[in-house]
Structure 1
């Protein structure tokens, strides 16, 4: 491909700043069409973002001859169906995370990509953010020695942040739409990144429960996991705590030191070794998906390789399935 001309299926909140504007800021890339089931909202998005065309039907966007790559930014329940349609139309797909509701859906998406030989990418953009690139650099340098274990704590999302105007819980806590709850939405980012930095996880198990009964999805998860390298990990995720208890903390312990960092909220990486401590402050870019989109465009043009593919993306869902089984 010479110029990558994108169409977005599902131009909701995630596309307003995180991803949408980046398609026009990456070299050899442009956003030429958007689709949303509510045509009024699709038209409004197109007008505000200077997008030439809008649709309210998925097939119309996929069959637009000017669109040669598609970004699927819908909830996970339709990721599989829309991905297959686009891939069979010969158009590369960039799909939001989690890749689908479960590993079985992901595997079918990957198989269609393999059969059609049309590329499939997943929006695990932390793999390319400068903050996490630095984290991987520190681990790879072995400044903290051999990795012994990883510890994750995430206490987040009070219920009042997930209630819509109609007093009903939003789609992220409806397992029929999202595949799970906040654990599936957020821990998918965490496990994808851990595998990218520390290598494959070979086993994982956990306990997942609905303690507060505020919505259908589980709201607390405890897990243990083991990497193929022999390093171990544990984590806890709770989404029904008071705002004052909000916590996003992670630690990688090595034989010669430790690294403390945050997956979501903070911009500091703290390194501690026998030589002392050092803090690296690396803010996120304005459009957090732009570095990954840039690599996808380069990949499609034969100028580089994107590190987040269908093959890597489905592993995050597999780990979530292991833990919540």
Structure 2
């Protein structure tokens, strides 16, 4: 992992629970933190073992601090302006999703980053989750032949922070939407049905990708799903792969023998899981969900000048797909 000096804007629940610990695990040095309250910034520095400087004005921090990159984890409505300020200051920036509320806003930021010659990376951590990285390798390597179709499920109680379908798609389901692009490419056709009512979301979506892959997606944001769940089943020419939650990948290879399948032990499944050791403490979740991997990737991009996988230009396509899905729902 590359070492990098990072400044932070924001120290809320998500940042403190997921991003700061992941940055530390990835080996970064936290050089400064800015929040709206100076004492809160000082407390965050102390909590995460940094001797850096506290600010209550992020623009002053951008002016005074030399760093490899800035990590922005703020309210969605504030992030576009903050990222543009980081770009104008000549800083590489990682920002939590969504970056821009639509494709137009996302494009504005991508163009600004290109003109300034800086890196912009959007926080789509599922691209860096081990279960989906292994599934990506399986798709690209064609070990089971070509991928043909998939079924995806994402269920969560999003009612506290999503009050309508647009908020649900862009604040919650967006991770799965971006993951589908990452795994299968760009979407050619979409149709969808909704039985949502206010913050209670229930959607069924069918997609056909430019490469011919077809898939069905079930999204729900209901109080019924206090236990968040996500699953992804991909069918190939010669088998299937099932990603179950974030900690199990089952790969089934079609039998090759001449006998009937129930006459012998010819079917084969490979099951990949992480260790269940309690020695991981709370870090196991951060690795499996992809947070540590994405922060390590951002650090590497900043220090070596590499274009991030989930870069600002790529984010335009994810935001466009979100809007296309919303437009297709009936």
Q: One fold, TM greater than 0.5?
A: yes
Partner of 2:209: 227
Retained in 1: the 8 A contact 2:248–2:271?
A: yes
Partner of 1:309: 311
Query: 1:244/1:129 Cα in 2 relative to 1: closer, same or farther (>3 Å)?
Result: closer
Alignment map for 1:236-315 (pairs within 5 Å): 236-243=218-225, 247-262=229-244, 265-275=245-255, 276-282=268-274, 284=284, 286=286, 288-302=290-304, 305-315=307-317
Counterpart-to-counterpart distance in 2, 1:22 and 1:151 = 30
SS at match of 2:18: coil
Spell out, residue by residue over 1:4-45, the C-alpha distance to the aligned partner (whole angstroms, 9 max, x if none).
Answer: 321111111222242213334435x31111122233432321
Spell out, residue by residue over 1:174-225, the C-alpha distance to the aligned partner (whole angstroms, 9 max, x if none).
Answer: 57xxx933332232211222222222223334345642x3x4xx62332222
Superposition deviation, residue 317 in structure 1: 1.2
Counterpart-to-counterpart distance in 2, 1:150 and 1:4 = 38
1:30 to 2:40 alignment: no
2:170 to 174, 179, 184: 184
Partner of 2:190: 204
Q: CA RMSD in A?
A: 2.6
Retained in 1: the 8 A contact 2:132–2:243?
A: no
Spell out, residue by residue over 1:155-174, the C-alpha distance to the aligned partner (whole angstroms, 9 max, x if none).
Answer: 22164xx2xxxxxxxxx325
Counting matched residue pairs gives: 303
Taking structure 1 as the reference length, what is the TM-score of the superposition? Answer: 0.83
Taking structure 2 as the reference length, what is the TM-score of the superposition? Answer: 0.82
Partner of 1:156: 156
Spell out, residue by residue over 1:75-107, the C-alpha distance to the aligned partner (whole angstroms, 9 max, x if none).
Answer: 221221111111011001111112232211111
Retained in 1: the 8 A contact 2:156–2:226?
A: no
Retained in 1: the 8 A contact 2:119–2:307?
A: no
Unaligned runs of 5+ in 1: 163-171
Partner of 2:140: 140
Counterpart-to-counterpart distance in 1, 2:227 and 2:17 = 28
Query: 1:100/1:282 Cα in 2 relative to 1: closer, same or farther (>3 Å)?
Result: farther
Whose Rg is larger? 2
Counterpart-to-counterpart distance in 2, 1:189 and 1:11 = 22
Superposition deviation, residue 303 in structure 1: 6.8
Partner of 2:127: 127
Counterpart-to-counterpart distance in 1, 2:305 and 2:311 = 16
Retained in 2: the 8 A contact 1:181–1:219?
A: no
Superposition deviation, residue 323 in structure 1: 0.7
Spell out, residue by residue over 1:130-173, the C-alpha distance to the aligned partner (whole angstroms, 9 max, x if none).
Answer: 222211122222233222212112222164xx2xxxxxxxxx32
Counterpart-to-counterpart distance in 2, 1:64 and 1:136 = 41
Retained in 1: the 8 A contact 2:192–2:203?
A: yes
Counterpart-to-counterpart distance in 2, 1:35 and 1:180 = 30
Partner of 1:107: 107
2:320 to 307, 318, 321: 318
Retained in 2: the 8 A contact 1:184–1:320?
A: yes
Query: 1:54/1:111 Cα in 2 relative to 1: closer, same or farther (>3 Å)?
Result: same
Retained in 2: the 8 A contact 1:86–1:93?
A: yes
Superposition deviation, residue 305 in structure 1: 4.9
Unaligned runs of 5+ in 2: 256-267, 276-283
Counterpart-to-counterpart distance in 1, 2:175 and 2:234 = 16
